[in-house]
Chain A
Amino acid sequence: MGLSTAINRSSCWSSLTRHKKPPLTSPSTQNPRGPAQNFCDREALFSSYCFESVKAEKESNSLNDVDHSQVLDFPGGKVAFTTEMRFISESPAERAHCYQVLDNDGQLIICSKFKEVSEEIAVKMYSDMVTLQTMDAVFYEAQRQGRISFYATTIGEEAINIASAAALTIDDLVFPQYREPGVLLWRGFTLQEFANQCFGNKADKGKGRQMPIHYGSNKHNYFTVAATIATQLPHAVGAAYSLKMDRRNACVITYFGDGGSSEGDFHAALNFAAVREVPVIFFCRNNGWAISTPTSDQFRSDGVVVRGLGYGIRSIRVDGNDALAIYSAVHAAREMAISEQRPVLIEALTYRVGHHSTSDDSTKYRPVDEIEWWRLARDPVARFRKWIERNGWWCSEAEIELRDSVRKQLLHAIQVAEKVEKSPLAELFMDVYDVPPSNLCEQEKLLRETIRRHPQDYPSDLPV
Chain B
Amino acid sequence: MAATSLRRFGRSLCWVSRRGLSTSCDDKVVQQNGKSMNLYSAINQALHIALETDTRAYVFGEDVGFGGVFRCTTGLADRFGKSRVFNTPLCEQGIIGFAIGLAAMGNRAIAEIQFADYIFPAFDQIVNEAAKFRYRSGNQFNCGGLTIRAPYGAVGHGGHYHSQSPEAFFCHIPGIKVVIPRSPHQAKGLLLSCIRDPNPIVFFEPKWLYRLAVEEVPEHDFMLPLSEAEVVREGSDITLLGWGAQLSIMEQACLDAEKEGISCELIDLKTLIPWDKETVESSVRKTGRLLISHEAPVTGGFGAEISASIVERCFSRLEAPVARVCGLDTPFPLIFEPFYMPTKNKILDAIKSTVNY
Contacts and interface: CB of A to CB of B under 8 A. Distances in A.
Interface of A: 175, 204-207, 209-210, 214, 216-218, 223-224, 226, 228, 231, 233-243, 245, 264-265, 267-269, 271-272, 275-276, 430-434, 437-440
A159 B243 CA distance: 55
Contacts of A265: 93-94, 97, 125
Q: Which 4 A/B pairs are nearest by Cβ-Cβ distance? A: A234-B97, A238-B101, A268-B94, A437-B274
Contacts of B125: 231, 234, 265
A271 B89 contact: yes
B199 interface: yes
Nearest to A273: B98
B187 to A, nearest CB: 22
Nearest to A218: B140
Interface string B224-251: 0001000000000000000000000000
A440 B107 CA distance: 27
B93 A218 contact: no
Contacts of A241: 98, 101-102
A230 B257 CA distance: 54
Interface string B157-180: 000000000000000001101000
B349 interface: no
B297 to A, nearest CB: 24
A268 B93 contact: yes
Nearest to A223: B141
A237 B128 contact: no
B121 interface: yes
Given A231-B125, A235-B100, A438-B277, A433 B199 contact: yes
Contacts of B121: 264
9 contacts: A204-B138, A206-B136, A224-B133, A234-B96, A234-B97, A242-B101, A268-B97, A272-B91, A430-B139
B91 A238 contact: no
Interface residues of B, number: 47
A75 to B, nearest CB: 14
Contacts of A236: 101
B30 interface: no
A224 B105 contact: no
A214 B136 contact: yes
A246 to B, nearest CB: 8
A231 B139 contact: no
B38 to A, nearest CB: 32
Interface in B122-156: 124-125, 128-129, 132-142, 144
Contacts of A430: 139
B137 A206 contact: yes
A175 B135 contact: no
B88 interface: yes
Nearest to B275: A439
Contacts of A216: 136-138, 140-141
Contacts of B138: 204-207, 209, 216, 224, 431
A64 B174 CA distance: 58
A238 B103 contact: yes
B139 A239 contact: no
Interface in B63-120: 83, 86, 88-89, 91, 93-94, 96-107, 109
B277 A239 contact: no
A268 B88 CA distance: 10
Contact of B129 (A217, A231, A242, A433): A231
Given A234-B100, A238-B101, A210 B94 contact: no
A454 to B, nearest CB: 21
B139 A226 contact: no
B198 interface: yes
Interface string B182-216: 00000000000000001100000000000000000
